[in-house]
Amino acid sequence: MYTLILGILLVALKYLEIGPVAQWSWWWVLSPFAVTLLWWAWADMTGYTKRKAMEKMDERKKDRIERQKETLGMAPRRPR
């Protein structure tokens, strides 16, 4: 995500001819988009994206169960 934001920023600077970016080749300016594309392809192929989504859902489920237990007045279990 950071490389996508960097790419957008560099394109804006190149287009508006601001700072040293105006002198750079378009290949350098557009390279963060290629890095972003490679990252997304890798994340999808390896299951990284799906794993992070599942971890987030599990955490939300755990938090929801704990809130319900507190609402019912049940003390959370202590680790043994």
Can you give the pLDDT at residue 16? Answer: 94
Can you give the pLDDT at residue 80? Answer: 67
On the CB side of 55, CA atoms within 13 Å amount to: 6
pTM: 0.64
Helix (H, G, I), strand (E, B) or coil at 52: helix
Nearest to 15 by CA among 33, 29, 1, 35: 29
Nearest to 43 by CA among 55, 32, 52, 34: 52
Q: What is the mean pLDDT of each run of 10 residues along the chain (80 residues)?
A: 94 94 94 95 89 93 91 75
